Amino acid sequence: MTAGPPKEDETVLVRREGRVGRLTLNRPRALNALTHAMVSRIDAALTAWERDPSVRTVLIDGAGTRGLCAGGDIRAIYEDARTGGTASPAFWRDEYRLNARIARIPGPYVAFMDGIVMGGGVGVSAHGNVRIVTERSEVAMPETGIGLVPDVGGTYLLSRAPGELGTHLALTGAAVGAADAILCGLADHCVPSGRLPALAAELASTDVPVAVRRHATTPPEGELADDREWIDACYAADSVEEIVGRLFAGGHHAAKQAAETILTKSPTALKATLAALRAARELGTLEEVLDAEYRASCAALRTPDLVEGIRAQVIDKDRMPGWVPGELERVTYEDVARFSAVPPGGDLGLARPEAGS
């Protein structure tokens, strides 16, 4: 008899292991995709552990063998967008507040970013202060492929990557391995996946830096360091059209592949993403960027590309989205400006001092 999906209160396993408060995302059949209930459960656990001086470290990982978390539950977002509901903005409000909270945790917040870590999975891991990748890690912000702008603080993280590496990852949605995740500032250390159970056990009684040093290794060689020259030159352009043109004209096979990949994404989301990244570079705090991302996500919910992108990638899986408009040149200034407009339900307001209290 096949076991069914976990009950709502089992979708995040919360327990104590010595000095560690441990969180395990527990929807392995859905690649641990985040639901609103899971976000609330994580937040409640952090509140309890904040008040418990015996909890010295928080550790988050994912159940199953495929990855930490593939992102938010986009099937739920799809149904909400189709019916004009309000569940997605409510989910994003609590999810983004959780992302900001994770970044403010004073003690060690250890994330095992093993396997697939995408979208919302990046949000519950890469804002921590001890981020562990493995030889199996695939870290990505693939939102432009479903008509969204990178969120959960993704534009904050990617805008602060060296050179234009973050722009490359945001527009293409490309996944990176351990070395490139560390290079881009999305992770800190590489530990072989087979050593994670031993590391977790040691954290229960050992200081985090000591335990991590004992298990960390040099990651397999990445790709982005060797591609910095053409990435920085091409993605420094002021428009997506010019970026694509430079990529095609650069004479590098990898650059041409990047251009071809970009042209499969939502034209509106691409232009809104480039504008968001450039703006995020000028904003001083994660909270300010999350406020801007909330506006962008709520705007995307009211565009045809979000429903169409999720349909093509997740529902029907035909990988043939019909974007509206279908060409970069037809996306107007007004189309992009909508992504920074105040949502109907009001702003997130994280950057206000009282919002984080």
Token pair in block for residue 232: 């920085």
How far is it, in rounded angstroms, from Cα 294 to Cα 350?
10
In this structure, the chain runs to a length of: 357
Candidate list 138, 151, 164, 291, residue with the active-site label: 151
How far is it, in rounded angstroms, from Cα 32 to Cα 38?
10
Candidate list 115, 119, 120, 145, residue with the active-site label: 120
260 is annotated as an active-site residue: no
Concatenate the DSSP letters of all residues of 75-105 into one string: HHHHHHHHHT-SHHHHHHHHHHHHHHHHHH-
Q: Where are the alpha helices (DSSP H) in 105-223?
A: 120-123, 154-159, 165-172, 178-183, 196-203, 208-215
Burial class from Cβ neighbours inside 10 Å (0-12, 13-18, 19+) for residue 280 reads buried
10 is annotated as an active-site residue: no
End-to-end CA distance of the chain: 48
Token pair 């059209």: residue: 241
**How are beta strands 12-17 and 20-25 bridged, if at all?**
antiparallel
The torsion angles phi and psi of 224, rounded to 5 degrees, stand at: -70, -30
345 is annotated as an active-site residue: no
Q: 181 near 133, Cβ under 8 Å?
A: yes
Token pair 């008899």: residue: 1
**How are beta strands 189-190 and 116-118 bridged, if at all?**
unpaired
Candidate list 67, 72, 115, 128, residue with the active-site label: 72
120 is annotated as an active-site residue: yes
Closest by alpha carbon to 310, among 154, 120, 122, 143?
143
Candidate list 61, 143, 164, 188, residue with the active-site label: 143
**Cis, peptide link before residue 325, omega less than 30° from 0:** yes
Residues forming the active site? 72, 120, 143, 151
